[in-house]
Amino acid sequence: MSFSKDVKNELARVPMEDMAILHAELAAYVRTCGVIRLREGLKIDLSFHTENASVARRILSAIKRLFGSDVEVAATQNMYLKKNKQYRIRMTDEGSVRALLMDSDFLRPDNVFQMHYAVDPALLRDAQSIRAYIRASFLGAGSVTSPSKRYHLEMISHDKTHGDDINKWLSRVGFSAKGIYRKDDYILYLKEAEKISDLLAFMGASRSVLEFESTRVVKDVRNNVNRLVNCETANLSKTVNAASRQIRDIELIQKTVGFSALDEELIPVATCRMNHPEASLAEIGEMMEPKMSRSGVNHRLKKIHELAEKLRGE
C-alpha cells in the first residue's frame, strides 16, 4: 500500500463531529471529485468519483447524514494505468442534489449553468471548518509522495480559481503552496519536508506524521553520512594526489642536482615526505624537530615544487 493511500485512509477516519464540518467537507468534494451533468428537463445529475474506498465511504456517510436520501454506489475496475478500482457515489434525489450544490455555493439559483469554484467564506466560519475543507480537498484530489523517495504533496484543481482559493485558505492557517499547470489541471504543491509534515498534522494524520518524520530522520542521517564519506574520500584523494606530485618533485631533484641544491630548511621536509608518502602535511609538521605548522610544511614543499619546475624547464 502506498504512503499516500495510508494517509488518506487515516484522514478518512477523522470524526465528522458537527454539521458545519459536514458542509465544509462536501463543499470540497463537490469541487474536487464531483461530476455534474445536466439531463433532460434541466435535471442535475451529481456523482462523486474516487479510487479510495475509505474516501468513498466518508463521502457516502456525509451525504447520508445531511440528506438521508437515496444514493447509488458502484465500483468499476479501471483497465488503464494501475487498474485501480473506481468508486462512484451518485445522488439520485433531485431535490437533495440541488440543495447540496446550492448549500455548497457551487451553483446559484440565478444561474445554474455557472459553477463557482471559490467557496463562500460563510461556509468556513471557524478553524475547524477550514481544517475540514482543506482535509476534504486533499482526500478528493490530493496525493503525497513517500518521504523515502522525495518530499512532494499536491492537490489537483480543474480550475485555477479553485486552486487559488484553496491556497488562500491554506495561507489563512499558515501554509502557502506553489501552483503550476500540468496539462489541463492546475496543481498546488508543497516540497518542503517540514511544511508537508505540518500540513499532515493539521489535517489530522498524526500516525502518518510519525511515519513521515521517522523516514525523514533516517533519510537525512543517511544523506549526511554519504556527504561526510564523499567529503572524506575527496580530501583523501586530494592528499594522495598532492603527495604523489611532491614525491615526483623530490625524486627529480635527487636524480638531477641532488639535495645539495636545496636550501637547508627544505631538506628535512623533503626527506620526511619521501619516508612517509602517506602522511598529511599536518602529520609531517608533527614529525619535524622543532615541530612545524601545516602551512609551514606547505610553504617549503611549494619551494621544492618551484625548483622541480625549473629543472623541467617549465
pLDDT digits (tens, 9 = 90+) for 7-65: 999 999 999 888 999 999 999 999 999 988 877 766 888 899 999 999 999 999 999 88
**Are the CB atoms for 123 and 129 separated by under 8 Å?**
yes
pTM of the model: 0.72
Which class does domain 3-204 fall in?
Answer: alpha beta
What are phi and psi for residue 109, nearest 5 degrees?
A: -60, -30
Decide if pLDDT at 314 tops 60: no
Q: Which pLDDT tens digit goes with each residue over 213-241?
A: 888 888 777 777 778 777 877 777 787 78
More confident residue, 92 or 113: 92
pLDDT score for 1:
67
Q: Which set of grid coordinates corresponds to residue 135?
A: 482535509
Question: What is the rounded CA–CA span in Å between residue 55 and residue 233?
Answer: 50
Nearest to 261 by CA among 313, 314, 308, 312: 308
Domain boundaries defined on the chain: 3-204, 225-312
Q: Give residue for cell 604523489.
A: 244
- Tell me the percentage of the chain whose pLDDT exceeds 70: 96
* Separation between Cα atoms, residue 147 and residue 150, nearest integer Å: 5
What are residue 88's DSSP bridge partners?
49, 74
CA distance 101 to 89: 15
Q: For 167-209, how does the pLDDT look when each residue is reduced to its tens digit (9 = 90+)?
A: 999 999 999 899 998 888 899 999 999 999 999 999 999 999 9
Q: Which amino acid is at 60?
A: L
CA atoms in the 13 A half-sphere facing the CB of 41: 2
